[in-house]
Amino acid sequence: MSHQALILLIIGGVILFFISLISSVEQKKKQRKARHFSDKSPKPANIHKKERKVHSPRNYDSYIETLPTVKVGQIIDGDTVDVHYNATKTRIRLSAIDCPEDGQEWGDMATYGLIKLIGGKKHVKLQTHGVDKYGRTVGTFYVYVPEKKEWMNVNERMVTLGHAWVMRAYYKHLPIQQQKRLDKLELWAKTKKIGLWKQPNPLPPWLWRQSKSNSQECSLANLSSHTSAF
């Protein structure tokens, strides 16, 4: 091989080396661009953020605002209210809670507590859940709190203030999250000895009603026996 041919061979090898090197650099640039583009695509965290947004307080308040506004009439006791809406008077039984009865200890306080929450208020919303066996509409009240610029769940508030027990036998119609919230609120009020929980042995209203019914039956039985003796 001549000296000139050898030089040409070396030059050709060098040129091929540089072409290969340039090609490799260009390939790496393309890979970096591809990774940069993929980094701009939506991430799972963003998706989860959108899902949480559905349950945000703002959307919750928006839902409440779609509920009918009612005019509060007579407040019978801590969990029973007469309201006016749809041009009719309707008796509402507060859903999922049970307050001390009239004549029972803390009964007057529970009634007064509900009066403070919704009595005379203009912005009261009602969510209905059906009708109970006594023909009363079962519902959840919401009242607007201007200071916080949000809607307050009155039923839950009655539990928080220690004016009511949670009726677990009658709250299955509520979302599971709301059931758990009611349980936590009752436990908190009980632990802090708020409201009726200040009493050493508070008697649930359903047991109080049962004992009163039993005593009335005994009284009628005694009266009947005395009458038959004459």
Q: How far apart are CA 107 and CA 93, in angstroms?
A: 16
Query: Which residues are catalytically annotated?
Result: 93, 101, 136
pLDDT for the residue 148: 92
Domain membership flag for residue 112: yes
CATH number where 123 lies:
2.40.50.90
- Indicate whether 130 belongs to any domain: yes
Q: Is residue 76 part of a domain?
A: yes
Per the structure, how many domains does the chain have?
1
Q: What are the C-alpha distances in Å from 35 to residues 39, 47, 138? A: 6, 20, 57
Which residue segment(s) compose the domain that 201 sits in?
A: 68-206
Helix (H), strand (E) at residue 39: helix 3-39
Q: What is the model's pLDDT at position 223?
A: 47
> What are the per-10-residue average pLDDT scores of the chain (230 residues)?
64 66 64 46 35 53 95 98 94 98 96 98 97 97 95 98 97 96 98 97 95 70 51
| pLDDT given for residue 229 in this prediction | 52
- 93 in any annotated domain: yes
Determine, yes or no, domain membership for 220. Answer: no
Domain membership of residue 42 (yes or no) is no
Question: Which pLDDT value is given to residue 182?
Answer: 98
Q: Which residue from 119, 145, 126 is spatially nearest to 85, judged by alpha carbons?
A: 126
Q: What is the pLDDT of residue 213?
A: 82
Q: Is 63 helix (H, G, I), strand (E, B) or coil?
A: helix
